[in-house]
Amino acid sequence: MEFISNRARKGRGARRVSVLAAAATAFALVATGCATGSTGDSTDGAAADGDLSITFIPKQLNNPYTDVVLGGGKDGAKQAGFASTQVVGPLEASASSQVSFINAETQAGTNVIVIAANDPDAVGPALQEARDAGAKIVAFDSDTNPKYRDVFISQVVAKDVALIQTKLISEQIGGKGEIAILSATANATNQNEWIKFMEEELASNPDYKDIKLVAKVYGDDDDTKSFQEAQGLLQAYPNLKGIISPTTVGIAATARYLSTSDYKGKVMLTGLGLPNEMRPFVKDGTVTAFALWDPAQLGYVAAYAGKALVDGDITGKEGDTFTAGDMGERTVGKDGIVIVGPPTTFDKNNIDEYDF
Amino acid sequence: MSNTVTTTPALDTSKTLAAEPRGRTGAARLLLGRDAVMIYALLAFVLYGMIAIPRFASPVTVGFLLLDVIPVLLIALPMTLIIITGEIDLSVASIAGLTSALMGVLWAAGLDIGTVLAISLLAGVAAGAFNGFLVAVVGLPSLAVTIGTLALFRGLALVVIGDNAVANFPPELTAFFTSKLGGTGIPTVMIGVVLVALFFGVLLHFTPFGRGLYALGFSKEAATFVGIKVARAKFWLYVGSGSVSALAGIYWTLRYSSARSDNASGLELTVIAAVLLGGVSIFGGKGSIPGVIAGVLLIGTINFALRLGRVSDVVLIIVTGTLLIASVVAPSVFEAIKRWQHNRRLRRSLPQVPASGETNATAPGVQERK
């Protein structure tokens, strides 16, 4: 027995040593990183010589709209002459999730980073670090704080997007009644900007004086959440006449709910949607008309803007011009904003002409 | 008892065989323990990364990687203690989010940054104390309580700041939070993190309070009988967890220079995964701080390496999930192998049993095993 208790005591002593030793080893990771620091830097220089690299960081992966944008981006990057095109990004569209991807690109020595920011400021310091390391930053779809990027590729003028949606809903509900907005995340830069313009327009335009915006809800660009928010809206506001969903995920989920409920054809739905996703709902009468631009063009122009920045053709100041392949010449506007084109309205007459 | 025992005699665990040591001791324990295995895995992966992954071996890696894992590392420390006592705290990420929201609002309201930080930290302490009160004093199950406060605190964060984001924190301060110690690549804030880690490490492994937590995890009743103040211990653990979550929230806000309600959302699961991977038993009573630190760094390093290799995040969560399951299953497998070896040794060392019948004389009272 004494023999055993002796051993046990020894074991405890050893455990204390192990705790200290283990803690020291855990931080050895740091030390190993420092010791071999020089090897990493030497490889970075090679990328800048001839084979240019471009990386797209969307708000989140596996989003149908994003996939179309990225498809155009990849085409554009190939035509513009980038040797390597990558797409990386988070699975959730949360504020800070993009930062580690930007960091990885900085480390990879990528020449152009094209980003749709989930938060205009959270990505800022990381982008600054990437720029310090020589990367050009092109924001697209959703802008960062202007001081952190070279140019912003905007599909359309934000106000036009807002106005076309208020116009569509007003036509559909006959100019009066309660409406609601089902948006993406509560912090999404682009959605919030459109909503702001919509609110201003509803308040100031006499044509819309009988339209009342009763609620703004957020489906977080998540199909299930958007579906449930739509359901909740109709329960909470029995007099609701229309819903505007300025996000492709939200409008598709809401349309799916409406098409299977009693509200089909009674509560109007419009917003920004993808023709391929919305086609069945337009055909079955759930949705009369909605708007969008061709998202592929957005990625396409972004890729060419990135090339022009790397080549030094543009610096992002107002008045710079560059050629965006088949899309022709584009001019950099105020605050480094490049506009791609006006939004298109889709209804049952023209929806079959589009495939994205 | 029948006289038909022809199969293996059952184990008699009350007697120790002289030839078999009871558990590992000395150097073997140091080098083969659960913590050590985690650290080997971490070192092996770092080594692999340095050789096989381009650009991995650089001070930049150290900086970015540590900046990424700091929130998880911080919250994992009190979480280790809580899980060792057999409880859980799911509200940590929401407390960090609430802290972040509060910081944003107070700063936007024009308060001095020192005051803002102090109030935010106090909010974390209060949130932790609320959890602690419900779990330790009222005696509700921690899983239910913290699922509730997970939603409650996140909701409060939304009430506090709404859908706004506050980003104009003092640039010197946000720059400090991403600054590195000289050319080493180690973030300056790691100094603070190391201090917090030392505090919890010493608390758990070298104080009577910490040792008592293990007893508490094994059996609450037994712990009460040997004089451990169960309610008080649990209460302070939740206060600690709330405070550290607030620190993580402050760090998150200033690192990303953005205060908003959805900051750190979903972080609680990353933390718990890392803690379990680090060798802490979800049933309580087992685990150590060094193991957990190695677990957090291992998950962080794998994520970072995969990202550097531009592997999709989908693969990343699959890898993390698989690792977690492996880390839970592996000990059971080792346990089974050990038992098998033990049985075999037992069989060998016992006097040879005749092929049939007449075992009563050699092993009286042995129960029949089928």
B310–A88 C-beta distance less than 8 A: yes
Q: Which residue of A has its CA nearest to B201?
A: A19
Collapsing DSSP to helix, strand or coil, A198 comes out as helix
DSSP A135: -
CA–CA dist A188, A17 (Å, integer): 51
Per-residue pLDDT of chain A (356 residues; tens, 9 = 90+): 444 444 444 444 444 444 444 444 444 444 444 433 333 333 333 344 468 999 999 998 888 888 889 999 999 999 999 999 999 988 888 878 899 899 999 988 899 999 999 888 889 889 998 999 999 999 998 889 899 999 999 878 888 889 999 999 999 999 889 999 999 988 788 889 999 999 999 999 999 999 999 999 999 888 999 999 999 999 999 999 999 999 999 999 999 999 988 888 889 999 999 999 999 999 998 999 999 988 888 999 999 999 999 999 999 888 889 988 888 888 898 889 998 888 889 999 889 888 78
Question: What is the residue whose two structure tokens read 């061709």?
Answer: A294
For A102, the token pair is 């930007």
CA of B121: how far to CAs of A137, A165, B235, B242, in Å? 36, 44, 17, 9
Query: What is the residue type of B176?
Result: F
Smallest CA-to-CA distance from A100 within A120, A76, A129, A63 is with A129
Predicted confidence (pLDDT) per residue in A247-271, tens digit:
999 999 999 999 988 888 889 999 9
CA–CA dist A321, A307 (Å, integer): 12
CA–CA dist B200, B289 (Å, integer): 8
Collapsing DSSP to helix, strand or coil, A214 comes out as strand
Which of A17, A26, A187 lies closest to B297 in CB terms? A26
Chain B neighbors of A186, CB-CB under 8 A: 158, 162-163, 261-262
Residue A208 · residue A166 · CB < 8 Å: yes
Chain B neighbors of A120, CB-CB under 8 A: 165, 167
Please give the biggest Cα pair distance in chain A: 95
**Could you confirm whether domain A43-155+295-340 is CATH 1.10.357.10?**
no
A192–B21 C-beta distance less than 8 A: no
Which of A30, A107, A125 lies closest to B60 in CB terms? A107
Which of A19, A108, A218 lies closest to B55 in CB terms? A108
Please count the residue pairs, one from chain A and one from chain B, whose beta carbons lie less than 8 angstroms apart: 199
Chain B neighbors of A95, CB-CB under 8 A: 165, 256, 258, 260, 262-263
Helix axes B171-178, B230-255, angle to 10 degrees: 110
- A15 class by beta-carbon count within 10 Å (0-12 exposed, 13-18 middle, 19+ buried): middle
DSSP B11: P
Chain B neighbors of A89, CB-CB under 8 A: 313
For B43, the token pair is 């070192």
The set of residues, in sequence order, having a beta carbon less than 8 Å from that of B83 and lying 6+ positions away, is B272, B275, B276, B280, B281, B282, B284, B287
Chain B neighbors of A40, CB-CB under 8 A: 55-61
A121–B167 C-beta distance less than 8 A: yes
Please give the biggest Cα pair distance in chain B: 90
Chain B neighbors of A25, CB-CB under 8 A: 39, 43, 290, 294
The CA radius of gyration of chain B, in Å to the nearest whole number, is 25
DSSP A146: G
Q: Which residue of A has its CA nearest to B306?
A: A104
Predicted confidence (pLDDT) per residue in B39-85, tens digit:
999 999 999 988 888 888 888 888 889 998 999 999 999 999 999 99
CA–CA dist B123, B249 (Å, integer): 11
Q: Which residue of A has its CA nearest to B294?
A: A26
* CATH 3.40.50.2300 residue spans of chain A: 43-155+295-340, 158-292
Q: Which residue of B has its CA nearest to A37?
A: B58
Residue A183 · residue A250 · CB < 8 Å: yes
CA–CA dist B82, B98 (Å, integer): 21
- The secondary structure element, H or E, covering residue A114 is strand A112-115
CA–CA dist A353, A212 (Å, integer): 34
Collapsing DSSP to helix, strand or coil, B141 comes out as coil
Q: What part of A 61-100 touches B (C-beta under 8 Å)?
A: 61-62, 86, 88-92, 94-96, 99-100
Neighbours of A14 (CB within 10 A): 20
CATH numbers and ranges of domains, chain B: 27-339 (1.10.3470)
CA of B203: how far to CAs of B90, B211, B231, in Å? 22, 9, 17
Smallest CA-to-CA distance from B175 within B256, B273, B286 is with B256
**A124 touches B: beta carbon within 8 Å:** yes
A34–B163 C-beta distance less than 8 A: no
Neighbours of A307 (CB within 10 A): 27
CA–CA dist B331, B328 (Å, integer): 6
* Residue A218, min C-alpha distance to chain B (Å): 10
* Residue B146, min C-alpha distance to chain A (Å): 23
Q: Which residue of B has its CA nearest to A16?
A: B205
B57–A34 C-beta distance less than 8 A: no
Which of B205, B303, B314 lies closest to A19 in CB terms? B205
Residue of B17, B35, B94 to mutate when probing chain A, most A C-beta within 10 A: B35
State the sign of the Cα–Cα–Cα–Cα dihedral B360, B361, B365, B370: negative
A4–B22 C-beta distance less than 8 A: yes
Per-residue pLDDT of chain B (370 residues; tens, 9 = 90+): 444 444 444 555 555 555 555 556 666 666 777 788 889 999 999 999 888 888 888 888 888 899 989 999 999 999 999 999 999 999 999 999 999 999 999 999 999 999 999 999 999 999 999 999 999 999 999 999 999 999 999 999 999 998 788 888 888 888 888 888 877 888 999 999 999 999 999 999 999 999 999 999 988 888 888 888 999 999 999 999 999 999 999 999 998 888 988 888 889 988 998 999 898 988 888 899 999 999 999 989 988 888 888 888 788 788 878 888 887 787 778 888 888 988 888 888 776 655 554 444 444 444 544 4
CA–CA dist B329, B327 (Å, integer): 6
* CA B58 from centre of chain: 28
Q: Which residue of A has its CA nearest to B166?
A: A121
Which of B25, B59, B256 lies closest to A37 in CB terms? B59
Chain B neighbors of A21, CB-CB under 8 A: 30
Q: Which residue of A has its CA nearest to B158?
A: A186
Chain B neighbors of A119, CB-CB under 8 A: 165, 256, 258, 260
Helices (H) and strands (E) in chain A, counts: 12, 14
Smallest CA-to-CA distance from A258 within A275, A270, A276 is with A270
Residue of B39, B50, B172, B315 to mutate when probing chain A, most A C-beta within 10 A: B39
ipTM of the predicted structure?
Answer: 0.72
Question: What is the residue whose two structure tokens read 């199909």?
Answer: A223
Predicted confidence (pLDDT) per residue in B281-305, tens digit:
888 888 999 999 999 999 899 888 8
CA–CA dist A67, A64 (Å, integer): 5
A119–B64 C-beta distance less than 8 A: no
Residue B90 · residue B275 · CB < 8 Å: no
* Residue B356, min C-alpha distance to chain A (Å): 36
Which of B67, B260, B294 lies closest to A95 in CB terms? B260
Fold entry, domain A158-292: Rossmann fold (3.40.50)
CA–CA dist B69, B187 (Å, integer): 11
Q: What part of A 26-55 touches B (C-beta under 8 Å)?
A: 26-30, 32-34, 36-37, 39-41, 43-44
* Residue B262, min C-alpha distance to chain A (Å): 7
For A257, the token pair is 């709910």
CA–CA dist A47, A135 (Å, integer): 11
Which of A29, A34, A91 lies closest to B42 in CB terms? A29
CA–CA dist A222, A225 (Å, integer): 5
CA–CA dist B164, B103 (Å, integer): 12
Residue of A4, A9, A16, A29 to mutate when probing chain B, most B C-beta within 10 A: A29
Smallest CA-to-CA distance from A103 within B250, B46, B63 is with B63
A30–B184 C-beta distance less than 8 A: yes
Phi, psi of B139, deg, nearest 5: 85, 25
